[in-house]
Structure 1
Amino acid sequence: MTLARLFLMMFFSLTMATTGQAQHAEAEDWRLADADQISSDKYLILTVALADRARLSAVTDGIETTFGVPLTAEWPLQSIDVHCLVFDATDVTDVDALMRSMRQDVRIETVQRMQSFEVSAHSYTDTLFPLQWSLDRMDVVEAHAVSTGRGVTIGVVDTAIDQAHADLARQLQDTRDFVAASSAHSAETHGTAIAAVIAADATNGSGIVGVAPDAMLIGLRACWEEDGQPGRCSSFSLARALNFAILNQVAVINLSVGGRFDPLLEDLVLAALNAGIVVVAASGETQEKVFPAAIPGVIAAAGLKSNGIPAPMIDVISAAPGNRHRYVSGSSISAAHVSGVVALLLAARTDLTTFEVTQALQDAVVTSGTAMPMLNACAVLRAVTNTTMSCAQS
């Protein structure tokens, strides 16, 4: 163990013992790598016990020697009390056999391949038409008479949010980059759009209005944009972002991503739910819910009621990097709308449990005329606050 690492571990322990959890809790400065450079499934994620911090270095070195694979990155996930190790198995002929051997090692708790996830959306570049039909369809303006989300913090796990955008500068409480190990990325399209749907500033006299315009956002960059695609994420980057959100006790986590089942991420999502955090995820673009929306307790957001809580997902206007706006579509956008409504709920009723929030949303899905069923923000607020507010669409 290096003296630098020992010093960091002692400093972290003393800080937590004397001050409790900081406003934004940090983990030790362990070895990191750019997440987009270790996203192949030839990289393996292992977890080991976090309790005996003094032995972590020896355990890590021992695993590296025993199995002949180099350590690429490591990071403590204090929220589930494990230390996460990423090993490079690119040169291993039979990765599955290696994983079977690793699972027999008493030092190792779990072993899995690095998984990839995609953000569930696509964008259009049509000329901006300043009409937020989604707010009208969900009776959001009427709901703002009771709540605007003030005091609720939402962790947006996504690509990088444009911190300088006029619709978001006031709402962004903090941003963290769990993709780039060296320097933070400035702005990306998908995360900026999701953040603005949730909480775009309603007081700046320009741009758009968010579903919960007075909610506060923490941008947690766990995904990156490449080759013209909306965004890609990995088990490692998503795990670190979720760990940060749990440690800092955000009220809501928005996960507008989807992919195959991932046991490490499931553990973290369940830890978030057990901590009383409301988790909203995009259900995907098919009839079956994708992971992590399929985890019991997670609020799945979709375009159709049969696949989750229905919310607008087609041609929704939102913010884009460079102080611009554009139309976006996909169940990612549905998730952003639902996260915004959850913030309205929690601001109005701080005592609501995750189960009660889910039930309230389900009860507030209404049909207007011949239109498809849709979540109604006004109906939700009216029910949970026992007010006599008039809702146009219900």
Structure 2
Amino acid sequence: MRRTTLAAIILLAIGLASPACAQTQPFLLKPANTIASKSHLILTVPLADRKRIDEIASEIVSRFGLTLTAEWPLKSINVHCFVVKASQETDMDSLIARLQADEQIRTVQRMQDFNTLESRYSDPLFPIQTALAQINAVAAQRYSTGSGVKIAVVDSSIDASHPDLSGRLTAPKDFVGDGQTVVAEEHGTAIAGIIAADVANATGIVGVAPKAQLTSLRACWQAPNMPGECNSFSLARALNFALLNGYDVINLSLGGPKDPLLEELIQAAIQKNIVVVAAWGEKEEASFPASVSGVIAAGGPTKASIRAPSVDVISTAPHNDYRYVSGSSVAAAHISGILALLLELHPGLPAKTLAHVLHASVKKRDGDPMIDACAVLLSEAKGQISCN
């Protein structure tokens, strides 16, 4: 089963500009939005057997009657990842148990589905939002604009041509499709605008950290007027890229079921002192990955999360437009922007310290708790900042 003979497989050269991501051989990839969750599993094997990857793949699919759908190295955690498909009549629980007992296989799990977390409002005439005032961002921006801070936005695609985002984005990476199609999707574009919309173009809105540097890591796909969809495979590849390429903050405005592989990648990011921010979700309990230890959860109803604006916030939309957005995704974007403000002034602060500063900077505003961006900066400023 030679991988290069499968006409349906799309070969991508991901990250050629970065030595950390350079590859010496092609790998099997398939658009993530064509991988059906119920019939696919994700397996990992150690990268120590790199020279035998083809042989190991053939042995596994032959032994268990599977079809190899896609595969890619996750160098950040030193494993090779296989996406395999079982036949429809397969007892998946029994198959997983047999795979887990196999000595060649390191981990096995179901393919999980995720959604970008947003409550949508269709009425364009909601009152103009006051999110920046709610978090005291204007006072904070006297001292910091997030310059030099690198944020990976793992989401649907960002419209790089939007006038409020031009100059704020590095070259995008597509972990959903073939990397050749230029798309502009609603959710990712809105999240980017909240974090870093331009402050100096006299157009549209102002982001929380208008000089932060964003990268669109497209791991979700989105039809017009529909929530974004993602899966374990696309998210794992995006997180792997973020780990290998020196980001300060990873924004995950999405949620879904607990996922062991994604949790391992997130923990690897935290170990590298990358700050991971995730949306709480719309329930009392945090969605995954906001529920992961060490992740900064945003927008939830409990003290375990950081409260930030999440209702009727105006932001950027594809095709030079603007729209109102709501949901804990929006709160996560505000928190990522505030972290960029702090990290410009104090690069390298430990992730635990950053989390502590955020929690300590939640203030009562009109009777409700809300993060105060200027108080965040004040906490580390030793008297050099005034929030008046």
TM-score range with shorter-chain normalisation? over 0.9
Contact kept? 1:43, 1:90, Cα under 8 Å: no
Name the structure 1 match of 2:92: 95
Equivalent of 1:73 in 70, 73, 89: 70
Aligned twin of 2:270: 273
CA distances 1:8-50 after superposition (whole Å, capped 9, x unpaired): xxxx9xx99xxxx936734553100010110422101000111
Q: For residue 288 of structure 2, what is the aligned residue in structure 1?
A: 291
| Matching residue of 2:164 | 167
In the other structure, the counterpart of 1:379 is 375
Task: Indicate if the aligned counterparts of 1:80 and 1:268 stay in contact, CA closer than 8 A.
Answer: yes
Shift of 1:130: 8.5
Partners of 1:176 and 1:184 within 8 A in 2: no
Between the aligned partners of 1:326 and 1:23, the Cα distance in structure 2 is 39
SS of the residue corresponding to residue 30 of structure 1 reads: coil
Matched residue type, 2:107: T
Stretches of structure 2 that go unaligned for 5 or more consecutive residues are 6-12
Residue segments in structure 1 that go unaligned for 5+ positions in a row: 6-11
Tell me which residue corresponds to 1:8: none
User: Which amino acid counterpart does residue 384 of structure 1 have in structure 2?
Assistant: E
Question: Residue 158 in 1 paired to residue 152 in 2?
Answer: no
Return the match for 2:184 from 184, 187, 208: 187
Report which stretch shifted further, 377-386 or 241-250.
Answer: 377-386
Q: In structure 1, what is the Cα distance between the partners aligned to 2:41 and 2:353?
A: 38
Shift of 1:104: 1.4
Report the equivalent of 2:257.
Answer: 260
Question: Matched residues, percent identical?
Answer: 49
- Which residue identity is paired with 1:385? A
Relative to 1, partners in 2 of residues 1:330 and 1:307: Cα closer, same or farther, differing over 3 Å?
farther
Q: Which moved more, 1:24-33 or 1:200-209?
A: 24-33
Length, aligned pairs only: 379
- TM-score between the two structures when normalised by the length of structure 2: 0.93
3-state DSSP of counterpart to 1:174: coil
Describe the SS at the equivalent of 1:326.
strand
Distance 1:185 1:388 in 2: 45
Q: CA deviation at 1:274?
A: 0.5
Rounded to whole Å, the distance in 2 between the matches of 1:24 and 1:317 is: 37
> What is the Cα deviation at residue 386 of structure 1?
1.9
SS at match of 1:357: helix
8 Å contact kept, 1:128–1:326: no
Query: In 2, Cα distance between the equivalents of 1:214 and 1:292?
Result: 27
61-70 vs 180-189, which deviates more?
180-189
Q: How many Å apart are 1:129 and its aligned residue?
A: 6.9
Residues 105 and 303 of structure 1: CA distance in aligned 2, closer, same or farther (over 3 Å): closer
Q: Alpha carbons of 1:193 and 1:348: their partners in 2 closer, same or farther (altered >3 Å)?
A: same
One of 145, 148, 158 as aligned partner of 1:148 = 145
Between the aligned partners of 1:151 and 1:25, the Cα distance in structure 2 is: 22
More displaced stretch, 245-254 vs 295-304:
295-304
Name the SS of the counterpart of 2:329 in structure 1.
helix
The corresponding residue for 1:116 is 113
* Aligned-partner Cα distance in 2 for 1:92–1:113: 16
* 1:302-381 alignment runs, 5 A limit: 302-368=299-365, 370-381=366-377
Q: Cα deviations across residues 143-196 of structure 1 (Å, max 9, x unaligned)?
A: 011110000000000001001001112100121110113533411000000011
Tell me the distance in 2 between the aligned counterparts of 1:80 and 1:112: 16
Cα deviation code 1:221-277 (max 9, x no counterpart)? 001114742211100000000000000010000001111110000000000000110
Are 1:53 and 2:35 counterparts?
no
SS at match of 2:120: strand
Q: Residues 303 and 311 of structure 1 are in contact (CA less than 8 Å); yes or no, is this contact kept in structure 2?
A: no
Deviations along 1:77-116, one digit per CA (max 9) or x if unpaired, are: 0000000000111434211111111111111111111000
